[in-house]
Amino acid sequence: MGGRVSGCDEPCPYAEPWVTDPAMERAADLQNTASLTLKFKFNPKLGIDNPVLSLAEDHNPSDPWSLERPRFCLLSKEEGKSFGFHLRQELGKAGHVVCRVDPGTSAQRQGLQEGDRILGVNNNAVEHEDYAVVVRRIRASSPRVLLTVLARHVHDVARAQLGEDAHLCPTLGPGVRPRLCHIVKDEGGFGFSVTHGNQGSFWLVLSTGGAAERAGVPPGARLLEVNGVSVEKFTHNQLTRKLWQSGQQVTLLVAGPEVEEQCRQLGMPLAAPLAEGWALPTKPRCLHLQKGPRGFGFLLREEKGLDGRPGQFLWDVDPGLPAKKAGMQAGDRLVAVAGESVEGLGHEETVSRIQAQGSCVSLIVVDPDADRFFSMVRLSPLLFLENTKAPASPQGGGSASLVETEDPSLEDTDVPSVPLGSRQCSLYPGPGGGYGFRLSCVAGGPRLFISQVTPGGSAARAGLRVGDVILEVNGYPVGEQNDLERLQQLPEAEPPLCLKLAARSPWGLEAWIPPGAVEDWALASDLL
């Protein structure tokens, strides 16, 4: 058995490394390129049947054949920046399309390309999920997210072969996930020793009943990260030093043999956003508040967090009022409202989202210890929220609510009668890059109308209301045959977005929308 890294100076023996032969893999690729375009098939369980498509090579954007299979893009958000791509819903059909990739960003470096279809977010297949839910999943995964994507032309071929309802996204099997394990040193140290092969490939040998085993590290696990830092390029001495510097406790990202094998078969990276938490020292908390006669009983304040970036913090938690009874603590940082991340939002927009919940509010928070921990491992606390689901929005979308509390007469389920007329609105993108509303299309009557308005967003501040009819977009009348083409170009158009609107029909939406005739569209892209 190898020497114990956790405090011992004994050298760890070298293990014979398991190495693939890249030249053989490339030869297999070349042998099959002639039949790739139309003959590959997707397996709903493992994603693909053609062995050429399951090779676990890094994506090479200059290799055209690497686009013929699902690709995995592990994106990291740099401080104060986005992941670097814009996402929109495919107009007229289900699908989530990368419509722009910003140069010099994580998205570009990881090979994300314009036109790619998003199949999965982390280990969640999202092909058939609502667009707003997909955006919420990506934002909730910040600062790191693993996207499964497919090139547009390959996606179209697969859909033609298998139908619109087929599942194209390869995912790991139930219970097969990397683990984030927090280990506290005891009299036996951390309870593992390390063997290694080539640079950056380390495996753990556990002591029976030791601290690592109790923390959930599986037998034969491969070590991927130490305290949020990848060991991929570490030497053995660097790893030993890193573990020693951890002191009395350390957080490891590890993958058991079964996880390694499945990821190898799928070509999926052993990525941290796939991980499940084991014996973590702290977790996010979900608070459900029911407004009382004296309010909720807390103050929301914007200030700099542990990482120096602005955040929304909860203070002045009054004893005996709903916030305190729900478990809120002074100094908690607000992570999400109704399950939707508020990272990067300004103070006013965050307040608007809370107010839009009405008298029942669901907040996800972290205390300073949890904030420090998740910042260290560079993972979103929302990935480790257990047994808590955000309340569904009134119309089943990803938005917290469609009701704006500033206008108590507006209700999304009962549209009041308003005299017809027209007005002009100019909109600028919000902090997330979107305009904050969705369109629906009908075959007869007014062609386009507002079907959803995000509380606190650009559209809400400009006065857009659910049911408003679109008459003109940037000076062009709608209702023509080229509406779809024009709408597809709007995400790339320079702001402001100028709309001419007619007020809601005095007969209500139901008067001119035949049952089943509504087609929901997302107008603008979201910067992610």
Query: Domain spans of the chain?
Result: 71-162, 179-278, 285-383, 422-502
Lowest mean pLDDT among 203-212, 346-355, 381-390, 517-526: 517-526
Q: Does domain 285-383 have CATH number 2.30.42.10?
A: yes
Helix (H) or strand (E) holding 95: none
Query: Alpha-carbon distance 234 to 101, whole Å?
Result: 31
Q: Regarding predicted confidence, which is higher, 94 or 39?
A: 94
Query: CB-side exposure of 513: number of CA atoms within 13 Å?
Result: 21
78 contacts 107 by C-beta, under 8 angstroms: no
* Banded pLDDT at 447 (limits 50, 70, 90): low
Name the CATH superfamily, with its identifier, for domain 179-278.
PDZ domain (2.30.42.10)
Are the beta carbons of 128 and 88 closer than 8 angstroms?
no
- For 10-21, how does the pLDDT look when each residue is reduced to its tens digit (9 = 90+)? 333 333 333 334
- Cβ-proximal residues to 183 (8 Å cutoff; 6+ apart), any chain: 190, 191, 211, 212, 215, 217, 249, 250, 251, 252, 279
Cross-strand pairs, 254: 179, 223
DSSP code per residue over 378-413: T--GGGG--S--PPPPTTSSSSS-S--TT-TT--TT
CB 306 within 8 A of CB 371: yes
Tens-digit pLDDT profile for residues 267-276: 999 999 999 9
- Higher pLDDT: 248 or 481? It is 248
Q: Which of 136-140, 339-343, 458-462 has the lowest mean pLDDT?
A: 458-462
Tell me: the pLDDT tens digits for 354-405? 988 888 999 999 999 999 999 999 999 999 986 333 333 333 333 222 222 2
Distance CA 263, CA 93 (A): 31
pTM of the model: 0.66
CA distance 440 to 444: 12
pLDDT of residue 441: 64
Bridge-partner residues for 120, per DSSP? 125, 148
pLDDT in tens, 67-117: 568 899 999 987 778 899 998 877 666 678 998 899 999 999 999 999 999
| Domain covering 422-502 in this structure, CATH number | 2.30.42.10
Q: How far apart are the first and last CA of the chain?
A: 47
User: Which CATH class for the 71-162 domain?
Assistant: mainly beta
